[in-house]
Chain A
Amino acid sequence: MKNFEYIQPGSLNAVSTLSKEKFVSSHLFAGGTDVLGLMKDNIISPDRLINLKNLPNMDKIVYKKGEGISIGTLVKISDIAENEDIMNHFTALAQAAGEVASPQLRNVGTLGGNICQRPRCWYFRGEFDCIRKGGGICYAYEGENKFHCIVGGGPCYIVHPSDTAVALTALNASIKIHSNGTMKEIPIREFFILPEDDPMKENILEPGEAITEIFIPELETGKKSAYIKLKERDVWDFMTVSIAAVADVSGSLINNVELAFGGTAPKPWYDENINKVFINSKISDLETNVKKIFNDSELLSKNKYKLQLIRNLTKRILNNFSA
């Protein structure tokens, strides 16, 4: 890891100015658990790290009944997993946060950092000059693609690694971004981008911009949320596939549902047409209905199993709501 300048800006405006300075490569730094990994592997070698941890008022969780919850970008993942308001009202997010990495990383990693983490593709993290690093091809396409995407891929076939991002997508959160002196709010469903738009980025953030807060609106009465993650190890692993659901299920009838999928696409996957398959359907019809989703998947040589897995997971999460 090459040496760098470690800057402690006192305001968001200073963050913008510093990260846009010419001839100096800068990187934002919060918990740092992903950034340090990238630097140790020489995926990035910034001249300057801009520490966000000392910025004021970005590490608070504020719940207002009937409105929603605001979570500062610097809130630690472990504090999200154990927050009573999040557990009670935004269960999917607490469950997803509890599934992130290991206790030691949850104690350091932040929510903003978790949704902005870079993919775990072994070609991207390894010594391959792949598309995501500015190279010519995606090595996973014809290579080892067991953990790669089944939808939304091309020209790069990563999956997005964040658990919390999947939960926040189902919960219809919005992301507050400080952008060169002004604030803007973007629905999380529009925050992430596909490789076809830009294969070298996973989200819309530009230099000079930083996430300040994530807001989740209160769920409508009758709706509950949940998150399930499948992984090869019981603990401390990235998802193979995962699912988050916000649903209104009464008895054996699914009145309403919003689903988001992890481990399936280069971004947390959200598709209104998938929701429509299940809205106003019966739990007893799940077996046939799940066959209607992900039919347009582009399966690679070694990830065909994910299709069955994601359909079964959909069945399981919706069944759980009726139990």
Chain B
Amino acid sequence: MKEEKNMKGISRRRFIKGVGTGIVGSYVMLPTMKDSEAKITKSPKDEVLESVRTETLETTINGRKVKSKVEPRTTLADFLRDYLELTGTKVVCNHGECGGCSVILDGRAVYSCMLLALDANGKEVITIEGLMSGENLHPLQQAFIEHDGLQCGFCTPGQIMAAYALLKKFPNPTDEQIMTGMSGNLCRCAAYPNIIKSVRGAAKKMNS
């Protein structure tokens, strides 16, 4: 990946992360950091000690080829958020119990927090960011707005990705198929009735 650091356009997230690693990094990391490695991606995670193991990951994220060095312990969720700054994917429980981090891996919904980034090698990942076409929302995203399929909205990216996989498999799902397909995604606001309506509404729109 190409490194383009525009200091004026630095985001709040990048700034906080930069300060955080800066404090530790100035004592521990910088003396042994290799310049060549630091340039590979944008993430401070790549500014690693030479002794730390890294592997090369080549994958396709939202249709774009991505090549990066990662530590084996990096989960796909961390890779998406911290390396690629695709922060639409939410890490909530980080234990594969809530569904907030759901993404599509080779056509199937998976929890990206319970998957090593290296296991996406050679595969195709779709995240919530990959659903929009230009400025236009995907029918599923539109349906969640129209049917009020959320309250606080934190689980919504995961809900939509689970629904995306569900509608790929069953374009005309029965209510039972919707409930089974969405069963791996928790909503603490309990917006479930409207989530089901949203999925049903999106299916109708996508088939028309």
Contact = CB atoms under 8 A, between A and B. Distances in A.
Given A3-B52, A6-B118, A103 B72 contact: no
- By secondary structure, the B interface counts as mixed
5 contacts: A3-B72, A36-B75, A104-B184, A105-B184, A235-B179
Given A37-B96, A235-B183, 8 more contacts: A3-B71, A33-B96, A33-B114, A36-B115, A40-B94, A104-B184, A107-B110, A234-B183
A72 B92 CA distance: 33
Nearest to A106: B184
Given A4-B73, A33-B96, A40-B95, A105 B114 contact: yes
Interface string B105-119: 100111100111011
B99 A102 contact: yes
B180 interface: yes
Contacts of B99: 102, 104
A2 B73 contact: yes
Interface of B: 52-53, 55, 71-73, 75, 94-96, 99, 102, 105, 108-111, 114-116, 118-119, 162, 165, 179-181, 183-185
Contacts of A32: 114-116, 119
A105 B109 CA distance: 9
Pairs of residues from A and B, 7 with the lowest C-beta to C-beta distance, nearest first: A102-B184, A6-B72, A235-B183, A107-B108, A104-B184, A104-B111, A3-B73
A104 B72 contact: no
B183 A103 contact: yes
A158 interface: no
Interface in A97-126: 101-105, 107-108
A5 interface: yes
Interface string A207-244: 00000000000000000000000000011100000000
B55 to A, nearest CB: 6
B95 A37 contact: yes
A309 interface: no
Interface of A: 1-6, 32-33, 36-37, 40, 49, 51, 53, 78, 101-105, 107-108, 234-236
Nearest to A101: B184
A236 B116 contact: no
Contacts of A103: 109, 162, 165, 180-181, 183-184
Contacts of A236: 183-184
A36 B116 contact: yes
Contact of B114 (A5, A37, A78, A235): A37
Contacts, number: 75
Contact of B116 (A2, A6, A78, A235): A6
Contacts of A33: 96, 111, 114
A2 B52 CA distance: 11
Contact of B72 (A5, A102, A105, A107): A5
Interface centre among B55, B114, B180, B183, by most chain A C-beta atoms within 10 angstroms, is: B114
A108 B110 contact: yes
Contacts of A234: 183
A38 to B, nearest CB: 11
A49 B72 contact: yes
A105 B96 contact: yes
A225 B180 CA distance: 23
B121 to A, nearest CB: 9
A239 to B, nearest CB: 16
Contacts of A3: 52-53, 71-73
B134 to A, nearest CB: 29
Contacts of B118: 6
Given A1-B73, A6-B72, A102 B183 contact: yes
Contacts of B180: 103, 235
Contacts of A2: 73
A234 B115 CA distance: 25
A36 B114 contact: yes
Q: In this complex, which of A5, A32, A102 has the most chain B Cβ atoms within 10 angstroms of its Cβ?
A: A102
A49 B105 CA distance: 21
A264 B42 CA distance: 51
B206 to A, nearest CB: 19
A108 B111 contact: yes
A104 B52 contact: no
A302 B206 CA distance: 51
Contacts of A107: 105, 108-110
Contacts of B119: 32, 51, 53
